[in-house]
Amino acid sequence: MKIGVDIMGGDYAPESIVLGALDARKELSPDQTIVLIGDKDQAQQIIQKTGENPDGFEFVHTTEAIRMSEHPTKAITQKPNSSISLGFQMLKEGALDSFASAGNTGAMLVGSMFSVKNIEGVSRPAIATNIPKEKSGYGILLDVGANADCKAETLLQFAILGSLFIEHIYQVKNPKVGLLNLGEEEEKGNNLTHAAFPLLKEKKSINFIGNIEGRDLFNDRADVMVCDGFVGNIVLKLAESFHALVEKRNFKDEFFDRFNYEQYGGSPILGVNAPVIIGHGISTPLAIKNMILLSRLMIESNITDKIRSAFN
Amino acid sequence: MKIGVDIMGGDYAPESIVLGALDARKELSPDQTIVLIGDKDQAQQIIQKTGENPDGFEFVHTTEAIRMSEHPTKAITQKPNSSISLGFQMLKEGALDSFASAGNTGAMLVGSMFSVKNIEGVSRPAIATNIPKEKSGYGILLDVGANADCKAETLLQFAILGSLFIEHIYQVKNPKVGLLNLGEEEEKGNNLTHAAFPLLKEKKSINFIGNIEGRDLFNDRADVMVCDGFVGNIVLKLAESFHALVEKRNFKDEFFDRFNYEQYGGSPILGVNAPVIIGHGISTPLAIKNMILLSRLMIESNITDKIRSAFN
């Protein structure tokens, strides 16, 4: 198993990425290899400083990186030697089993669609994010930004993608799907949710429980929370800011701790032909470690095959 | 000045409403009268129990009420003697200067549009809600549920309505308007925000500062935060649920206290021909007191005339 990691992406790259990879390596078995893509010299210096051995990693050297501010499509096409471009090339060729980066989100999305491409039948891949549930564990919210405007059929696909993720990654049987809406009643909503509701209701392969509201995000009503990427992105950033406000005040609590993105490592892109994970720009070594462990879990669970079967 | 209050609406009506009115009365001057609309006998019993005098109030007696679960348009047309219907009738006739209720939100919206009607030039009235700012004070978010699907021109109108409210009610000069979006850059967004951005940018009478993100809700980037009612409703309920989670854990703090809807009393409907306020369903006496004081402020500030001038 080859787990690809971009060491040039993220606000604290490459140090934070390399340190996180060192921590992750301790939990991997000998046949699970982390492939570090980026400036090899810098990476080796960071590793040597810790007194650890760089031998356990594979390196793919490049000094070119896509910056956070760059236009995704332009950057992917004009920088074929950037760490993100190289990662996707290797993923496409089968030289990697997964690819993860805390760098430019748009470039990760475009890169995955250009290289490994959408799974047949999936019209729009989605970025899914973990949402801590008050009682325990996580649900997922999707899409959180890949698709600002969605069709009803796309929301149905998100529901299927999210259900498979929750079922095979979090081992939740028959996960509950909720449509994020402005009221609980079936007749409530905007044009999009009005059109999506019957599609979700009719779909036998998912466990649709109906509309959920903004206040249901953290309770147990739904494991898979579906919305367009515009709404999802606003909800995600609002939730993050709330966590930051609580943390700033040193309010400590098991639930609020689980808000911390470091605990789950990153947001998978669901619906493409390989496990791809986007880490948070401010990823710490702990976040990177968990991003790598989530990569492994996505490979081991064969989530990509499971999604392919569901759409064929 | 006649401040109309529905005593039949809200989860703790009529007791909570009447007790709140008693508290508010202490802060009103002799020419400012609260008109209690609903079951007069019950109201007088509640007042007598406190040892206070019912003489300071005016009463409009009815035992009919619109329940929370009723269909707004049906209820308004089929229950002309309900407290909400009577309130709007009096408002239309000039027997009241404002009307407020913690009852059925939809009925309040429909009632205001049927009775006092939209201000000429305002295509869709909006429900505005207070959002506590971390440093101090409040901003407002609109729309939070009156209009699930919006046109770009409607968002521009919300920006104007919200700016006038913040300027004349909160005395903030040249309030900053932000368009709630999934990214800061002008090119980010969905079809709606792409269309709305240039309209907001070109409008001379508002101080448009550009896109804001979900994480900007509680900071000082914008005083007036504009979005469609679908997004606003989800954001509002999510924010309320955060507050509930913090409160449940007894995390106390001046900022989180300001989250409490009781502090600002209710959400105004902006864009109709009279001050109308919707209180929270779970309104306590403190919330009702503040709902009444906000009613007074909206009357005294001539906010309705200010809006009329801006749209003519």
pLDDT band at A281 (very low <50, low <70, confident <90, very high): confident
Alpha carbon separation from A170 to A162, A265, A301, B168 (Å, rounded): 11, 14, 10, 52
Query: Mean pLDDT over all residues of chain A?
Result: 96
Whether the per-residue pLDDT at A283 is higher than 90: the answer is no
The whole-number pLDDT of residue B174 equals 97
The whole-number pLDDT of residue A26 equals 96
Asked whether residue B260 is assigned to any structural domain, the reply reads yes
Tokens matching residue B34 = 């609260």
Query: Tens digits of per-residue pLDDT, B236-285?
Result: 999 999 999 999 999 888 898 888 888 888 999 999 999 999 998 888 99
Query: Mean pLDDT over all residues of chain B?
Result: 96
A29 vs chain B: nearest CA distance in angstroms?
39
The whole-number pLDDT of residue B161 equals 98
Instruction: Measure the CA–CA gap between A37 and A58, rounded to whole angstroms.
Output: 9
Q: Does B225 lie in the same domain as B136?
A: yes
The whole-number pLDDT of residue B260 equals 82
pLDDT band at B167 (very low <50, low <70, confident <90, very high): very high
The whole-number pLDDT of residue A265 equals 85
Instruction: Choose from A105, A187, A230, A243 for mutation: most chain B CBs within 10 A.
Output: A230
Instruction: Measure the CA–CA gap between A89 and A70, rounded to whole angstroms.
Output: 19
Whether the per-residue pLDDT at A282 is higher than 90: the answer is no
**Is B212:B131 a contact under the CB 8 Å cutoff?**
no
Q: Does B175 lie in the same domain as B130?
A: yes
Q: Do B245 and A218 touch (CB under 8 A)?
A: yes
Instruction: Choose from B151, B226, B242 for mutation: most chain A CBs within 10 A.
Output: B242
Mean pLDDT of A179-186: 95
The whole-number pLDDT of residue A310 equals 97
Which residues in chain B have their CB less than 8 angstroms from residue A181's CB? 230, 234
Instruction: Measure the CA–CA gap between B243 and A301, rounded to whole angstroms.
Output: 37
Other CB atoms within a 10 A radius of the CB of residue A33 amount to 18
Q: Does A253 lie in the same domain as A174?
A: yes
Contacts 24+ apart (CB under 8 A), B130-134: B130/B261, B130/B264, B130/B267, B131/B217, B131/B218, B131/B225, B131/B239, B132/B218, B132/B255, B132/B258, B132/B259, B133/B218, B133/B219, B133/B220, B134/A245, B134/B218, B134/B219, B134/B220, B134/B255
Q: Does B252 lie in the same domain as B134?
A: yes
Q: Does B289 lie in the same domain as B230?
A: no
Asked whether residue B309 is assigned to any structural domain, the reply reads no
Q: Does A300 lie in the same domain as A179?
A: no
Q: Does B177 lie in the same domain as B264?
A: yes
Tell me the percentage of chain B whose pLDDT exceeds 90: 91
Asked whether residue B214 is assigned to any structural domain, the reply reads yes
Asked whether residue A266 is assigned to any structural domain, the reply reads no
Q: Does A300 lie in the same domain as A231?
A: no
Instruction: Check which CATH number belongs to the domain holding A289 and give it.
Output: 3.40.718.10
Query: Tens digits of per-residue pLDDT, A121-175?
Result: 999 999 999 999 999 999 999 999 999 999 999 999 999 999 999 999 999 999 9
Asked whether residue A130 is assigned to any structural domain, the reply reads yes
Asked whether residue B308 is assigned to any structural domain, the reply reads no
Instruction: Measure the CA–CA gap between A65 and A38, rounded to whole angstroms.
Output: 8
Whether the per-residue pLDDT at A72 is higher than 90: the answer is yes
Query: Tens digits of per-residue pLDDT, A26-61?
Result: 999 999 999 999 999 999 999 999 999 998 899 999
Q: Does B167 lie in the same domain as B181?
A: yes
**Is B43:B8 a contact under the CB 8 Å cutoff?**
no
Q: Does B290 lie in the same domain as B238?
A: no
Mean pLDDT of A263-269: 91
Instruction: Measure the CA–CA gap between B207 and B113, rounded to whole angstroms.
Output: 28
Asked whether residue B128 is assigned to any structural domain, the reply reads yes
Mean pLDDT of B207-236: 97
Size of interface A-B (CB pairs under 8 A): 114
Q: Are strands A2-6 and A98-101 parallel, antiparallel or unpaired?
A: parallel
Residue of A nearest to B250 (CA): A251
Instruction: Measure the CA–CA gap between B161 and A148, rounded to whole angstroms.
Output: 26
Asked whether residue B71 is assigned to any structural domain, the reply reads yes
> For A149, which of B149, B191, B245 is closest by C-beta distance?
B191
Residues 6+ apart with CB under 8 A from B218: A241, A245, B131, B132, B133, B134, B255
> For A214, which of B193, B237, B251 is closest by C-beta distance?
B237
User: Domain range for residue A69?
Assistant: 1-118+271-312
The whole-number pLDDT of residue B99 equals 98
pLDDT band at A264 (very low <50, low <70, confident <90, very high): confident
Q: Does B295 lie in the same domain as B233?
A: no
How many domains does chain A divide into?
A: 2
Over its C-alpha atoms, chain A yields an Rg (Å, rounded) of 19
> For B148, which of A182, A239, A241 is closest by C-beta distance?
A182
B19 vs chain A: nearest CA distance in angstroms?
29
The whole-number pLDDT of residue B265 equals 85
B190 vs chain A: nearest CA distance in angstroms?
5
Q: Do A231 and B228 touch (CB under 8 A)?
A: no
Query: Tens digits of per-residue pLDDT, B43-80?
Result: 999 999 999 999 889 999 999 999 988 999 999 999 99
b (16+ CB within 10 A) / e for A135-167: eeebbbbbbbbbbbebbbebbbbbbbbbbbbbb
Query: Tens digits of per-residue pLDDT, A99-128?
Result: 999 999 999 999 999 999 999 999 999 999
Q: Does A283 lie in the same domain as A228?
A: no
> For B213, which of A190, A193, A237 is closest by C-beta distance?
A237
Mean pLDDT of A54-70: 94
